[in-house]
Amino acid sequence: MSKMRIGGRDIDNAHVFEIVLDSFPDIIHSVNDAGNIVFTNRKAEELLGYTKAELLAMNIRQLYADDIQADVAKGFKQLKEQGAQRVESAVKDRQGNRIPVEVRSFAIYDDDGSFLRTFSILRDIRPLKELEDGLVHASRLAAVGELASGIMHDIANPLTIIIMALELWRRQMPKANLDQATAEQIAGHVEDMERAAQSIEKLVDHMRGYVRNRAETQVLVDLGAVAEDALFIAGNKLAKDKVKVVNRIVRDRYWVRGCPNRLEQVFVNLVSNAADAMEQQPERQLTLAVDSIEQGPEPRWQCAVTDTGTGIPEAIQKDIFQSFFTTKEKGKGTGLGLSMVRSILNDHHGEVRVQSIPGHGATFYVCLPKASPESGAATDGRLVG
**Residues at the contact surface with Mg ion, assessed by CB under 5 A:** 273, 337
Please give the C-alpha separations between residue 350 and each of 133, 141, 210, 256, in angstroms, as whole numbers. 30, 27, 21, 10
The count of residues in the chain is: 385
Of residues 276-295, which lie at the interface with ligand ADP (CB under 6 A)? 277
* 338 contributes a contact to ligand ADP by CB under 6 A: yes
Give the nearest residue (CB) to ligand ADP. 337
> Smallest distance, Å, CB 226 to ligand ADP?
18
Is 337 one of the binding residues for ligand ADP (CB under 6 A)? yes
State the minimum distance, in angstroms, from the CB of residue 251 to ligand ADP. Answer: 25
Which residues are 290's β-sheet partners? 303
Piece of the chain touching ligand ADP by CB under 6 A; list 29-37, 97-105, 196-204, 268-276 = 268-276
Shortest CB 136 distance to ligand ADP, Å:
14
User: Which of ligand ADP, Mg ion, none is residue 31 near (CB under 5 to 8 Å by kind)?
Assistant: none
Residue ranges in 348-377 that form contacts with ligand ADP under rule CB under 6 A: 362
Distance of alpha carbon 385 from the chain centroid: 28
- CB 380 to Mg ion: min, Å: 27
Among 273, 300, 308, 383, binds ligand ADP (CB under 6 A): 273
Question: From residue 262, how far is each of 126, 166, 275, 299 by CA, in Å?
Answer: 33, 34, 20, 21
258 binds, among ligand ADP, Mg ion, none (CB under 5 to 8 A by kind): none
- With CB under 6 A as the contact rule, the residue among 307, 352, 366, 367 that binds ligand ADP is 307
Q: How many residues bind ligand ADP (CB under 6 A)?
A: 22
Say whether residue 120 binds ligand ADP (CB under 6 A): no
Q: Using the rule CB under 6 A, is 269 a contact of ligand ADP?
A: yes
Q: Which is nearer to ligand ADP, 231 or 274 (CB)?
A: 274
Binding of residue 268 to ligand ADP (CB under 6 A): no
Judged by CB under 6 A, does residue 275 bind ligand ADP? no
Distance of CA 1 to the CA centre of its chain: 33
Of 311 and 381, which CB lies nearer to ligand ADP in the complex structure? 311
Q: How far is residue 243's CA from residue 227's CA, in Å, rounded to a whole number?
A: 16
- Report if residue 327 touches ligand ADP, rule: CB under 6 A: yes
Query: Rule CB under 6 A: is residue 326 a binding residue for ligand ADP?
Result: yes
Which one of 30, 118, 120, 310 is in contact with ligand ADP (CB under 6 A)?
310
Binding segment toward ligand ADP, per CB under 6 A, in 80-88, 232-240, 244-252, 336-344: 336-344
Whole-number minimum distance, CB 310 to ligand ADP, in Å? 5
Distances (CA, A) of 10 to 15, 16, 98, 108: 10, 10, 41, 29
Decide: is 234 part of the binding site for ligand ADP (CB under 6 A): no
**Distance between the two ends of the chain, CA-based, in angstroms?**
60
CA–CA distance, 327 with 107 (Å, rounded to integer): 42
Smallest gap from Cβ 169 to ligand ADP, in A, equals: 44
Binding residue (CB under 6 A) for ligand ADP from 325, 348, 368, 383? 325
* Least distance between Mg ion and beta carbon 212 (Å): 21
What are the residues binding ligand ADP (CB under 6 A)?
269, 273-274, 277, 307, 309-312, 320, 325-328, 333-339, 362
